[in-house]
Amino acid sequence: MAWAVLFWVLMFLMNLALIVSSFYQLLCLVDLEDDHLNPFEASSHINFWVVPEFLLQGLLCLLLLVTGHWFTFLAVLPLTCYNVFLYMKRQHLIDVTEVFRAIKVEKRIRFVKLGFYVLFFVMVVFRLTLSSFEALAGDDEDMHVF
């Protein structure tokens, strides 16, 4: 049972990092739209976090697959496939010269990702509390061998 709690704590931290990354990218786009950042700064700040976000999302999906959490894996899989699709088409980075033309689309994508990460956050918090209560209740089957 303690392994389940540690796994969900790891999922909690990974999801929290994804939420922060997505929110930061959205904040950079809003600052660009309001002329607080120039296009080069905004795109460099956003592009710095895109690949780590994709890798963390892929690792999260892989961990869910390996540990057998099928429902949660299937819930995370569409966004992971979308990220892989963007990376394969080389459309994952924001171009400095095209950033103003695509700012509304990029903001919409970041809002959808942020909403997805928040929904996944709710699922992770629920599973973390459930596994914590099970671990504290002492429902270990290994203790009832004799």
Q: What pLDDT is recorded for position 146?
A: 40
How does pLDDT run across 127-137, given as a tens digit for each residue? 999 999 988 88
Residue type, 22: S
Q: Which pLDDT tens digit goes with each residue over 69-127?
A: 999 999 999 999 999 999 999 999 999 988 889 899 999 999 999 999 999 999 999 99
40 contacts: CB under 8 Å, gap ≥ 6: 96
> CA Rg, the chain, in Å?
19
pLDDT grade for 35, boundaries at 50, 70 and 90: confident
